[in-house]
Every structure is written in structure tokens, then in C-alpha cells.
Amino acid sequence: MMSQTLGIARSSYYPSHHKTESKPSSENKKTIKQIIRIHQDSEGRYNASKIHQILFEQRLQISRKHVQLSMKKENIRSIILKKYKPHSSKSTVAGITYIHTQKDGWYYLASVMDLYS
């Protein structure tokens, strides 16, 4: 009766209720769970290359590109910290340096040299 009401064949109505997940789809979900777990264990520091290396060590054959696409799909990004580059100062009576901290970001340390010393 339902197939007649919807105007579709009986043979196409019943299979739509008993769909099972395909093997590649279920394996992809397992892979994404592993990627998320590795990313969380690294506190968000690992990028796709490092996660791919860990998955390879765990005997999971997956391409780095697939890891990248999975991370992009799940909106997973690694934390990127810029490297500290010291800046030289031409002044002889004062100096400034930059100190990067994980919690608060950049701190600036200024020192002044007394003319007496």
C-alpha cells in the first residue's frame, strides 16, 4: 500500500529500508576516528604528514593525500607556531627582545643600560 501511495515499485521501496553501510565507508569512518584520536593525543600539534607516519607505523595503508582530505573534511588543523627570529638593535643604551609563551602569546622584554655602567 505504501509503495502504491508513493508511486514507486515495491522492489525499490523495501531495499531502501535495509541499506547497509558499504565497506569503504565504514573503513573511512574508522580511519577518521583514528586521525582524530592521534590529533587529540598530540594536543593539536601534528599535521597530516606526521599523522600519516603514525598510521603507517600502525600498519594502516593510507595515502598522505587521503589523510589531508579527511582532516580538511573534519576541519582538523595543526597548531602552527612561528619560529622566533631575533632582531638586532643598533642602539647601545637599550635593547628589546621577544619571548613567545604557549599560554599568553608574545611578551616583550625591554632593557635599558644606564650610562653610568
Residue ranges per domain, the chain? Answer: 19-73
Cβ contacts of 111 within 8 Å, gap of 6 or more: 94, 95, 96
- The pLDDT value recorded for residue 100 is 86
Span 32-65, pLDDT tens digits: 999 999 999 998 989 999 999 999 999 988 999 9
- C-alpha span between 89 and 113 (Å, rounded): 13
pTM above 0.85, yes or no: no
